[in-house]
């Protein structure tokens, strides 16, 4: 029995030695027989995994098709009009939620409601310590203000005929995108000409930190 054990041990040592010798003679590859087996299995697993991965071109097309040219605010950030007519305050609360200040938005809701106008809103924003910017253009529309507000992903509140305030959430070369607090379930699209015929020239936004944009397509 002892001799048999010694023979088995010697055979195992010989196999290991042969494998090591083989690995030294393969040159730059230096794989043992066991390594070669594992390499083949790994290649097969990798091929199966790659076959399951989505096609990069298809992903790019789907991303482009689903991308929107405006700030797609979550429904919980879209504050509807309240108290029989608080469109200015609802628009400001929407901006505060979007830019990461829900506590200030809820405080604003508890303290202000009803109609509002530019000078008093500015005083209230200053008294509240809220950082903001505004335009009250009368000699032509201040497109630069709106374009900058949207480019920085801030959005803005813009005044509409009939003493109504809505949020501008996007602007490009041909269209303007609005979120109306009287219909928060959809984004309204207007041509720039249509928007220009209706905007009174008053716009205001708070200045904090909006969410980052969606990732670029693969």
User: Residues 191-201: pLDDT tens digits?
Assistant: 999 999 999 99
Which residue spans of the chain are classified as CATH 3.90.70.10? Answer: 75-206
pLDDT for the residue numbered 38: 55
* Gap between the Cα atoms of 102 and 77, Å rounded: 9
Task: Write the pLDDT tens digit of every residue in 171-190.
Answer: 999 999 999 999 999 999 99
Provide DSSP, 32-63. -HHHHHHHHHHHHHHHHHHHHSPPHHHHHHHH
CATH no., domain 75-206: 3.90.70.10
CA torsion sign for 123, 131, 201, 184 is negative
pLDDT for the residue numbered 69: 73
* Gap between the Cα atoms of 11 and 6, Å rounded: 9
Angle in degrees, CA 80, 83, 89, rounded to 5 = 55
- Which residue from 140, 149, 185, 196 is spatially nearest to 168, judged by alpha carbons? 149
Task: Write the pLDDT tens digit of every residue in 20-71.
Answer: 444 444 444 444 555 555 556 656 655 654 554 445 454 444 434 445 678 8
- CB-neighbour burial class of residue 19 (10 A; exposed 0-12, middle 13-18, buried 19+): middle
What is the average pLDDT across 118-128? 97
Strands (E), the chain: 132-136, 156-160, 164-171, 175-179, 188-191, 202-206
pLDDT for the residue numbered 137: 81
pLDDT for the residue numbered 106: 97
pLDDT for the residue numbered 66: 43
Instruction: Answer for the pair 21, 14: CB distance below 8 angstroms, yes or no.
Output: no
Task: Write the pLDDT tens digit of every residue in 83-122.
Answer: 999 999 999 999 999 999 999 999 999 999 999 999 999 9
Task: Write the pLDDT tens digit of every residue in 72-85.
Answer: 899 999 999 999 99
């Amino acid at each position: 029995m002892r001799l048999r054990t010694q023979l088995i041990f010697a055979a195992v040592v010989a196999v290991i030695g042969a494998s090591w010798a083989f690995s030294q003679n393969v040159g730059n590859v230096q794989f043992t027989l066991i390594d070669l087996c594992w390499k083949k299995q790994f290649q097969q697993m990798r091929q199966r995994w790659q076959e399951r991965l989505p096609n990069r071109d298809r992903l790019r097309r789907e991303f482009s098709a689903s991308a929107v040219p405006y700030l797609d605010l979550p429904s919980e950030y879209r504050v509807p009009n309240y108290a029989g007519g608080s469109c200015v305050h609802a628009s400001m609360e929407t901006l505060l939620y979007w830019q990461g200040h829900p506590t200030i938005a809820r405080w604003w809701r508890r303290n202000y409601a009803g109609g509002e106008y530019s000078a008093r809103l500015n005083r209230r924003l200053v008294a509240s310590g809220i950082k903001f910017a505004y335009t009250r253009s009368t000699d032509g529309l201040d497109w630069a203000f709106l374009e900058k507000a949207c480019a920085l992903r801030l959005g803005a509140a813009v005044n509409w005929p009939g003493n109504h305030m809505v949020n501008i959430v996007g602007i490009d070369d041909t269209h303007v995108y609005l979120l109306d607090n009287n219909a928060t379930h959809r984004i309204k699209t207007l041509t720039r000409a249509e928007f220009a015929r209706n905007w009174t020239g008053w716009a205001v936004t708070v200045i904090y930190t909006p969410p980052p944009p969606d990732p670029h397509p693969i």
